[in-house]
Amino acid sequence: MLLPRLFILQLTLLPFYAIAQYEVLPFGDVKRTPLTEIKYTDVTGSPYLFDYCVKGNVTLTNGKKYLVDSLKYNVIEDNLVFKSEDGALMHFAEPVKRFELAVKGSNPARFINGLPATKGFSSEAYFQILAEGKVTLLKKIRKEITESKQYGSAVTNKLINTTSSYFALKEEMLVKILPNKKTITALYGINDMQLDNYLKENKIDFKKDDDLYKLFTYLNR
């Protein structure tokens, strides 16, 4: 079976857009067989961040970078896969350190692992990067299958639920946070008055990721 040919970036010569061909092998499989996809039968919802393939770029732990046309992030399994030319799902031959997924009408969704382990998550867990700097704001997206039955019914309903939580990376420490004024003033060592003007002028909503990006980017300047 022919394997897909992806593009490796030559960082020593040109910026990220300079490319050359490089073969990607199935992750951890010397026989080069496609990944066997887990089928979620009789379940409402998708295990993927997007239920369709998207373009993006990938950085492996060995430093190699790729432009890929068909990425899918399985949130339940917390891993990244891609489609080969014949439509088979494949793993990367080397562990993925960072990846970006194209989002129509918005900035790319950026993910990273290798962060300090924290309660409930190992260093292999992927976190979405919302803002980077002296305090890096991260988001952990989780999907889980829940089961329920209606009263008097023998039918079990299975539903994939999505939840999100926020984390701050500061001085090599990763801690779970609740984005609010009290948390942010403590993270940056500032008082309420220093923050209030910006919050009011920019109408910051702590429940919106775009607003959190603006706020943390401003404070990280």
- Calpha distance 109→102 (Å, rounded): 7
Looking at the predicted structure, is the pLDDT value of residue 60 above 60?
Answer: yes
Question: 16: pLDDT confidence band, cut at 50, 70 and 90?
Answer: very low
- Calpha distance 214→203 (Å, rounded): 11
Domain assignment present for 93 = yes
Domain assignment present for 152 = no
Main-chain phi, psi angles of 218, to 5 degrees: -65, -45
Domain assignment present for 102 = yes
Residue with more model confidence, 106 or 110: 110
Domain assignment present for 193 = no
Domain assignment present for 37 = yes
State the pLDDT at residue 84.
78
Domain assignment present for 56 = yes
Looking at the predicted structure, is the pLDDT value of residue 37 above 80?
Answer: no
Question: 35: pLDDT confidence band, cut at 50, 70 and 90?
Answer: low
121's tokens:
């998550």
What is the span of the domain harbouring residue 56?
Answer: 1-112
Produce one character per residue of 147-167: b if its CB has 16 or more CB atoms within 10 Å, e if not.
eeeeeeeeeeeeebeeeeebb
61 Cβ contact partners less than 8 Å away, ≥ 6 residues apart: 94, 95, 96, 97, 114
Looking at the predicted structure, is the pLDDT value of residue 55 above 70?
Answer: yes
Domain count, the chain: 1
Looking at the predicted structure, is the pLDDT value of residue 31 above 70?
Answer: no
pTM: 0.81
pLDDT digits (tens, 9 = 90+) for 183-200: 999 999 999 988 999 999
State the pLDDT at residue 106.
86
Residue 213 · residue 132 · CB < 8 Å:
no
Residue with more model confidence, 126 or 105: 126
Side chain identity at residue 90, one-letter code: M
- Calpha distance 83→35 (Å, rounded): 10
- Calpha distance 30→84 (Å, rounded): 16
Looking at the predicted structure, is the pLDDT value of residue 59 above 70?
Answer: yes
Domain assignment present for 159 = no
Domain assignment present for 210 = no
State the pLDDT at residue 1.
43
State the pLDDT at residue 26.
36
pLDDT digits (tens, 9 = 90+) for 134-178: 999 999 999 999 988 888 777 788 999 999 999 999 999 999 999
